[in-house]
Amino acid sequence: MQIDGQTAIVTGGGSGLGAATAARLAQAGARVAVLDINIEGAKATAAGFGGLAVACDVADAVSAERALAEVGAALGPARVLINCAGIGPAKRIVGRDGPQPLADYERVIRINLIGTFNMLRLAAAAMQTLEPIDGERGVIVNTASVAAFDGQIGQAAYASSKGGVAALTLPAARELAQFGIRVVAIAPGIFATPMLRALPQAAQDSLGASVPFPARLGDPAEYAALALHIVQNGYLNGETIRIDGALRMAPR
């Protein structure tokens, strides 16, 4: 799909991978809506390219519906959705204080997996009514993680949420194929997001050195470039693509 002139939505666009992706899509000519529960972060990102900032809790049906309606009214119907919203707290299943509180696990699943599905279902419902362009009506890119395949100790909630995102990709792509909507997931490795940049430099260097090649943290711009390529490459569908420098996570 040619992105120039099309409306694109990026969730979690207030920082990190989402912010980089929103900027890259805008550079390619898209009308970009930046959705984030942190509206100030969304505004900061959108201000960099004249985009639209919208407050949205991706895991809440009403909030997501309102956000999509606002985007449609301001920018026109979206043909591209990039799901970057997510959280990644680390906690053991059984720690010194006993079993992990169920509410902690539920929160991660709700934001990362249910939030992704919520945005996917709403965007797809709107996309299927659009006129095809070169046979396509829309493209949805979800964010999984290498933790979906080799999650570490302390990542049970995060890994299972991202494993769910990866498992969602193929059945969603198969179901939405009849409407000309593609669904692809990206599974990033260790990227230089604000969460990792908050670590001491020595810790960042150690993490980067664990990557086979290139031995460094991923640049959010590299994730953004892959997301844009997926949108533009019409034969990519139903796949979860790792972008990790050949990293395979150790148990801890």
* Residue in this structure with the two tokens 């969730």, named with its chain if needed: 11
Which residue numbers are catalytic? Answer: 158
Give the tokens for residue 12. 């979690």
* Residue 190: alpha-carbon gap to chain centroid: 14
Residues 6+ apart with CB under 8 A from 157: 89, 91, 100, 104, 105, 108, 109
Q: Which residues of 47-78 are buried (b: 16+ CB within 10 A; e: fewer)?
A: eeeebbbbbbbbbbeebbeebbebbeeebebb
Burial class (CB in 10 A: 0-12, 13-18, 19+), 225: middle
